[in-house]
């Protein structure tokens, strides 16, 4: 099949490369000329394991190409995916200006039947708005053409996106008639060989499913972080509590790890957007508001532990930070807890030296011009003379460090673990004080 992807960001590139990899002819379109030129030369603008090789292989095979011409994309394919950004407005609602601009451009270029697929994360009712924009353009042209609008939200985890696309848990497709249903079934047939993962539903339900799934996962994280704060105050260990909870199959172990808050391009934005949708429909989003509030305060939990040890004024203090991306296996710094933590430490007078396996370049953009924050290309180099090590992102490379080397490099032998990665007793045995989430401090002395 021939497919056009409008928007060559994270979702667009992963979707385009994976669809091409199973034999489709895919044209990825983006208005950013420099991005398209880079992609044609084999350079990708994001970090995602395996994506560069997948794009390179399918480009070489002639199944994947890139353009800045939307009209070319509309003429090229029968199925056109919209995969542009939907950043939050000031009130938290999803900003649809890019989605609707693409819809208008499609309406200007249509000459035959096409299926327009909303792949972007959008609020309920967006499919109707896209349809209205396209129809308005057709009316202005005096053209009577049939087209279909489909909702097909993505469920890709950063760091595992290719695996998620090629071996999906489910493929949610919102349709309102049989013709696009059959075309979408044909498109996704290669991903349904073992069993049917397609879930067809109405457009509104498909749009809501994406928000509902992300909000549920965010809720589990915030709930565990609230439990972690309770555990610290009553003398419990959240890690043993977590195991007791997770052993109940009705709860399970997924997404019940306490930490220093969630970030990224999805959970914060989607929780806020769903809350805004609730408000505009006359519902009070009490749980969603609480999820967001808990997460914002949790991002400061490590700072509070630092302050409890060093005092409110951190002038003269220097801290090492391991982990900058909002999660492992990505360079995404959007809404990352590290940004909140580092800024708060610096605002209290401290300086910071930070390391991340892949996100340093992105972090340099975030902290551009801030001389209080420096970066190193090797994890142990940030430790020299620091008053403590603060672990923010749970990269695998951080799980079994040389604790003796850490102890010798630090000026103050303290670890603040925002992801409960380390064994508290093992840390203590190496002469380090240990502060974590949802557990009492372990002091070496």
Cα–Cα distance for residue pair 303/311, rounded to 1 Å: 11
Give the ranges where 235-300 is alpha helix by DSSP (H).
238-246, 267-280, 286-298
Beta bridge partners of 46: none
- For residue 24, give every residue at least 6 positions away whose Cβ sits within 8 Å of its Cβ, in sequence order, or none: 1, 2, 3, 63, 187
3-state secondary structure at position 98: helix
Q: DSSP label at 107? A: H
- Tokens 């044609």 correspond to 40
- Tokens 């490099």 correspond to 409
- Greatest extent of the chain over all pairs of C-alpha atoms, in Å: 82
Cα–Cα distance for residue pair 280/328, rounded to 1 Å: 35
| E-state strands within 266-394 | 318-322, 351-355, 373-375, 389-391
Cα–Cα distance for residue pair 29/6, rounded to 1 Å: 5
Question: Could you tell me the two tokens for 375?
Answer: 């970066």
> Is 283 among the catalytic positions?
no
- Among the options 266, 283, 317, 346, which is catalytic? 266
Residue 205 phi, psi dihedral angles, 5° rounding: -65, -40
Cα–Cα distance for residue pair 22/113, rounded to 1 Å: 24
Residue 371 phi, psi dihedral angles, 5° rounding: -70, -10
Q: Give the pairing of strands 115-118 and 25-29.
A: unpaired
Residue 145 phi, psi dihedral angles, 5° rounding: -130, 145
Cα–Cα distance for residue pair 349/113, rounded to 1 Å: 61
| E-state strands within 193-284 | 198-201
Question: Could you tell me the two tokens for 253?
Answer: 């172990």
Q: List active site positions.
A: 266
């Amino acid at each position: 099949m021939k497919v056009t992807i409008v928007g060559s960001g994270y979702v667009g590139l992963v979707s385009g490369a994976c669809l091409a990899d199973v034999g489709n002819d895919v044209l990825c379109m983006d208005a950013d000329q420099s991005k398209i030129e880079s992609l044609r030369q084999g350079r990708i603008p994001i970090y995602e394991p395996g994506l560069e090789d997948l794009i390179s292989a399918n480009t070489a095979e002639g199944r994947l190409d890139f353009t800045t011409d939307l009209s070319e994309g509309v003429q090229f394919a029968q199925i056109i995916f919209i995969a542009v950004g939907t950043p939050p407005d000031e009130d938290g609602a999803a900003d649809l200006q890019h989605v609707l601009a693409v819809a208008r451009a499609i309406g200007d270029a249509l000459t035959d039947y096409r299926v327009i697929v909303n792949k972007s994360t959008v609020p309920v009712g967006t499919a109707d708005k896209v349809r209205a924009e396209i129809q308005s353009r057709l009316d202005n042209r005096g053209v009577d053409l049939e087209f279909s609008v489909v909702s097909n939200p993505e469920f890709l985890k950063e760091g595992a996106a290719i695996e998620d696309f090629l071996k999906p848990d489910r493929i949610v497709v919102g349709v309102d008639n049989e013709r696009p249903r059959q075309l979408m079934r044909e498109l996704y047939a290669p991903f349904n060989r073992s069993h049917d993962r397609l879930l067809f539903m109405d457009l509104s339900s498909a749009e809501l499913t994406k928000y509902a799934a992300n909000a549920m996962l965010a809720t589990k994280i915030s709930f565990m972080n609230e439990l972690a704060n309770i555990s610290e105050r009553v003398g419990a260990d959240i890690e043993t509590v977590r195991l007791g909870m997770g052993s109940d199959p009705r709860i399970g172990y997924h997404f019940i790890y306490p930490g220093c808050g969630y970030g990224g391009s999805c959970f914060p934005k989607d929780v806020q957007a769903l809350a805004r949708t609730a408000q505009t429909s006359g519902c009070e989003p009490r749980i969603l508001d609480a999820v967001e509030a808990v997460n914002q305060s949790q991002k400061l939990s490590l700072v509070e532990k630092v302050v409890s040890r060093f005092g409110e004024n951190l002038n003269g203090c220097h801290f090492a930070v391991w982990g900058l991306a909002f999660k492992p296996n990505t360079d995404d710094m959007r809404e990352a807890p590290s940004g909140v933590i580092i800024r708060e430490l610096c605002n209290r007078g401290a300086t910071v030296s930070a390391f991340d396996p892949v996100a340093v370049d992105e972090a340099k953009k975030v902290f551009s011009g801030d001389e209080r924050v420096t970066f190193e290309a090797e994890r142990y180099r940030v430790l020299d003379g620091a008053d403590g090590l603060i672990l923010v992102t749970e990269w695998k490379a951080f799980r079994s460090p040389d604790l003796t080397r850490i102890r010798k490099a630090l000026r103050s032998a303290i670890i603040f673990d925002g992801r409960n990665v380390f064994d508290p007793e093992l840390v203590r045995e190496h002469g380090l004080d240990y502060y974590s989430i949802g557990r009492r401090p372990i002091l070496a002395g």
